[in-house]
Amino acid sequence: MSDSEAHNEPANAVPKPVEASANPVHCAKCFQFNPREADRCIACGAHLWVKCRKCGKKNVRTASRCVKCIADLHPLAFLALPGLPRWFRNRKRKRLVSVLGLLLLAAAVVLVSLPKPLNPTT
């Protein structure tokens, strides 16, 4: 595309769809398919790639693990903090503990909000 053609396009033009045979990259924000060589989404401008913190490999943003070293690319997605106990890293256990904690908190709020019994002063 020449410079004169690029200036004739309106600023709010709808991006051209990418063919499925081109092995497109899927945007996690707006679900637009983008060319593989793009760094940002052609529709919303969001980042399409994330760099692995362990090995430095460039991975698709929608991937959960690195294709090279299998490290977790989004460690905070499920609160997988290194300081957490090993038994709490399991998602089902984490959900169970979270629900039990919320139930205890709700019970404490209900107990605090109960009316106090009247004490006769006679």
Helix or strand run (H / E) with residue 92: helix 91-113
DSSP 8-state code for residue 72: B
Whole-number mean pLDDT of the chain?
Answer: 76
Give 14-44 pLDDT, tens digit per residue.
556 555 556 788 888 888 888 888 889 888 8
Q: What percent of the chain has pLDDT over 90?
A: 9
The confidence score (pLDDT) of residue 2 equals 45
Q: Would you say the C-alpha torsion 33, 38, 40, 43 has a positive or negative sign?
A: negative
Predicted TM-score (pTM) of the model is 0.45
Q: Is the pLDDT confidence value at 92 over 80? A: no
The confidence score (pLDDT) of residue 1 equals 43
